[in-house]
Structure 1
């Protein structure tokens, strides 16, 4: 079926019209195409429902919104020449984003196109005579609910309609929560269990329900001084996380970084993910976004380098350093994985192509890698690739070492190309057609470790059951046995759980939602002092407001924008 998805997606991909509030798209009726069976038509109708996910999860869209707005990531104006973009990344980090931010606009449009495509599928699939349509219909309706979760979380609104040509009803607060909940509950019985992680399954819906119930207190009263986590909501979080864990279908990975390898589609820890395999034209750029422009991870691609994008803030790094002091945080295998042995053995400076892999995790200090001169990698006399200290040659600064520093900020010195520890969580693809822009690693939306951590949080919030919460957290920590796992914790509080979510889920586009739920989004961190609680929501793009101007009072801008 995967191949059918691809061919049908190619057929229909050019037939969509960008829309905002009215969610209107013109879609070819695939069933009318000569020679197609009902099954082929069904495949072609469902494929576009998922097809917006890779664009939503592009590094400058959802990732930017969820990470650079937090204490975890910061993206300065590198060297005064790169990543300036009219200050939008500085504003995102400082919570001064405006309604004209192009990345917000892109994300809004893409999510609502996902909603629109879901509605089209919901209306079209019942006309086809194939047994698979029952499952596909459930997936399309469930994906509409997932896209609605995104608009609720980011912008505080949900658009509801069943007819593509109708005007949506806008829901907020408790009404929006109840609508999404009812949709997910309605589709769960008709979903499959074994077609994931790139498609919606029962396990994925259980996880989304758990996530919805966990954040319901925030969604019901967005600007509360203190959120009220209802006991019955926490019971539901525990119920749905129990379902996932007891199903036996998913498994915590022994090797933490294998969860983010380019072949992670079959990793048993993944529950729901953006399918990015090569034959689906995957194009995630997570592997090259953060690292240096002088880091070249693949010998076969002398143009595949990093972008000197975001680094982690000193505040976030210190959460690791303080947790493990006096030991180095690398005692936790989630923090760092050494692949280049030149770090530990300076004599090992010639590496065979098949053995060359850059280090993973949080990268600090002097970086080593392939040495490139005039567009060609240098080789040793034995034909292996020369590996040595890296300098900022691509930036025309050959004396500036690629030596990542803890300090990074918006000052001239703090915005240089070497500032900030970097993140290489997702693996560069060695088979991709470019080695750079077309990453093959599935982008994680939901995985089993998060399920354990959600259950731990619900137990703490419901009854203060620290012992059970501690057991769940330590289960996740103890699972990483490919190397020495991190030491077990001896106590558990909400603050420690927040820290643990930061250690486990960094760079996975969850930080903003977590910070809001834990009451930390108004805190002060590197280059951010804005404590306005109205910034818990982003502005509705001005283009959407303008587009709805013919309906007075229909789409109201979020407060403070």
Structure 2
């Protein structure tokens, strides 16, 4: 069992905010105020901070079948929402269950404000933010150990929640410790306003975040990565290129973070990946103490089935017969049978068809076996829930970000260094090295797919590269057509959920919905 974060559940339950769409008003409803709780036990702040970290991976503090919010405990966790909205709406991954609303994600079609999966992520954002605000509202007036660092971590977590709001919905309300507890509905904040807030927050907390931190908690490099991600997508978010600024932060992560590429790609997605030298910031899973149907359990179990696979080979005792990759992902490696790229071997092909003629047919498409619940070092332990941490930020992504900034003309970028970083990523997986003439943006978006698919980046990447909407790039089942078709530019954002619009009349719907 991983001795990483101590979830003080009994303390945290006292601080749970009641619901999510109502949290747009940010009215705290607690059994004890934070001041009262900390007066009783000053050490409780560690449990509260741990709970904030857990909000990105778990459904609730009372177990995998209980939820902190009114949404379905299994379907609504934050990480599951990231995978659904970033990977299943894009080219590489599809799901066959046909749940109400899930077909619309996996076929990138018929989106509307009633889709529960949009509501789930929106609600998780506005569950996490008020909890951060609750602690920040009193943190400056209490005596706690390492106060500056704790406050910086909480602000990082709030910025992370806002980042996903900016990326997926493009607007919302700006809830902070300054307006925490206001009863009147907050005004709508634009994408530019949210961007400016998150940028300022991350710039301010960079110095206070620790250079190194306990595993699973934010370090200085995690804050730098998040701000770099914001800058990488600035042209999409606010219409202004910020690749120069992104590169400054990327260089800090590479030069000062102390990370190195893991020797083996598969080790990054195995149950003992907490030992990795590459992972900058993970979302923690533990088969015993942090069980969830929405962390990597969703990825591992969802990609397995007794129809064509042996579950024990992947450390699982349940296969949900749900997720398969499409040729838009495994086709990036060429012939899987002859490829030397280790990443090309991470698809289950036996009993499956190369073409996804029917996305609801399990045997159409290849399940990804990139994530597994087995240890890379040592014997496997079969468990009902995954113990594999989710690498939200890792060094290989940073290397590819450096190359992209350089190709986009960022000041200070060196093409020779970019080539060196890209080839380091490829060599680690036994892929052939490339020459400088081959390092183009077209090559790089494909390399990001080969390296990072199913890690919550793909939709944002395709939008940044101008490949998500329209017809310049199509993939299987895009627009609910087997061979793919054009989709409208409005799909660069998700519709604001109806429940959120009803909860706060100041919110308006995104164009096109």
State if a TM-score over 0.5 links the two structures. Answer: yes
CA contact (8 A) 1:118 1:144 kept: yes
Distance in 1 between the 2:197 and 2:7 partners?
34
1:63 Cα deviation from its structure 2 partner? 0.5
* Residue number in structure 2 paired with 1:363: 348
Matches within 5 A, 1:248-259: 249-259=258-268
Matches within 5 A, 1:468-487: 468-480=417-429, 485-487=430-432
* Residue number in structure 2 paired with 1:26: 29
Q: In structure 2, do the counterparts of structure 1 residues 59 and 118 end up closer, same or farther at CA, with 3 Å as the change threshold?
A: closer
Distance in 1 between the 2:79 and 2:39 partners?
39
1:46 Cα deviation from its structure 2 partner? 1.6
Distance in 2 between the 1:209 and 1:248 partners?
15
Matches within 5 A, 1:435-446: 435-436=383-384, 438-446=385-393
- Cα shift readout 1:237-258 (whole Å, capped 9, x = no counterpart): 1111111111151110110010
* Residue number in structure 1 paired with 2:481: none
- Cα shift readout 1:267-309 (whole Å, capped 9, x = no counterpart): 11111111223454143212111122443433898x8232121
Distance in 1 between the 2:122 and 2:278 partners?
29
Distance in 1 between the 2:38 and 2:331 partners?
62
Instruction: Give SS of 1:272's match.
Output: strand
Matches within 5 A, 1:235-250: 235-247=244-256, 249-250=258-259
Matches within 5 A, 1:55-454: 55=58, 60-76=80-96, 83-86=97-100, 88-160=102-174, 161-162=176-177, 163-166=179-182, 167-221=185-239, 229=241, 233-247=242-256, 249-278=258-287, 280-283=289-292, 284=295, 285=297, 286-294=299-307, 295-298=309-312, 304-321=317-334, 328=337, 330-336=339-345, 361-364=346-349, 366=350, 403-410=351-358, 415-429=360-374, 435-436=383-384, 438-454=385-401
104-113 or 194-203, which deviates more:
194-203
CA contact (8 A) 1:207 1:241 kept: yes
1:157 Cα deviation from its structure 2 partner? 1.2
1:196 Cα deviation from its structure 2 partner? 4.7
1:513 Cα deviation from its structure 2 partner? 0.3
CA contact (8 A) 1:273 1:442 kept: yes
Distance in 1 between the 2:381 and 2:13 partners?
21
1:362 Cα deviation from its structure 2 partner? 1.5
CA contact (8 A) 2:94 2:106 kept: no
Instruction: Give SS of 2:250's match.
Output: helix
1:92 Cα deviation from its structure 2 partner? 4.1
Rg larger in structure: 1
Instruction: Give SS of 1:363's match.
Output: coil
- Where structure 1 has 5 or more consecutive residues not aligned to the other structure, the ranges are 77-82, 222-227, 337-360, 367-402
* Residue number in structure 2 paired with 1:52: 55
Instruction: Give SS of 2:281's match.
Output: strand
Cα RMSD after superposing both structures: 2.7
CA contact (8 A) 1:329 1:335 kept: no
Distance in 2 between the 1:5 and 1:36 partners?
22
CA contact (8 A) 2:343 2:450 kept: yes
Distance in 2 between the 1:318 and 1:4 partners?
38
Distance in 2 between the 1:314 and 1:299 partners?
24
Q: In structure 2, do the counterparts of structure 1 residues 329 and 149 end up closer, same or farther at CA, with 3 Å as the change threshold?
A: farther
Distance in 1 between the 2:27 and 2:92 partners?
36
Q: In structure 2, do the counterparts of structure 1 residues 236 and 288 end up closer, same or farther at CA, with 3 Å as the change threshold?
A: same
Give the alignment's TM-score, normalised by structure 1: 0.77
Q: In structure 2, do the counterparts of structure 1 residues 49 and 173 end up closer, same or farther at CA, with 3 Å as the change threshold?
A: same
CA contact (8 A) 1:30 1:44 kept: no
Distance in 2 between the 1:240 and 1:50 partners?
23
* Residue number in structure 2 paired with 1:533: 489
**Whose strand proportion is higher, 1 or 2?**
1
- Cα shift readout 1:358-391 (whole Å, capped 9, x = no counterpart): xxx2121x2xxxxxxxxxxxxxxxxxxxxxxxxx
1:540 Cα deviation from its structure 2 partner? 0.8
CA contact (8 A) 1:6 1:280 kept: no
Instruction: Give SS of 2:206's match.
Output: helix
Distance in 2 between the 1:265 and 1:459 partners?
31
Distance in 2 between the 1:543 and 1:502 partners?
34
Q: In structure 2, do the counterparts of structure 1 residues 87 and 547 end up closer, same or farther at CA, with 3 Å as the change threshold?
A: closer
1:48 Cα deviation from its structure 2 partner? 2.6
Instruction: Give SS of 2:233's match.
Output: helix
Give the alignment's TM-score, normalised by structure 2: 0.84
CA contact (8 A) 1:53 1:274 kept: yes
CA contact (8 A) 2:186 2:504 kept: no
* Residue number in structure 2 paired with 1:524: 474
CA contact (8 A) 1:406 1:419 kept: yes
Distance in 1 between the 2:250 and 2:403 partners?
10
* Residue number in structure 2 paired with 1:494: 441
Count of aligned pairs between the two proteins: 466
CA contact (8 A) 2:236 2:464 kept: yes
1:519 Cα deviation from its structure 2 partner? 0.5
Distance in 1 between the 2:4 and 2:403 partners?
41
Distance in 2 between the 1:498 and 1:70 partners?
13
Instruction: Give SS of 2:368's match.
Output: strand
464-473 or 539-548, which deviates more:
464-473
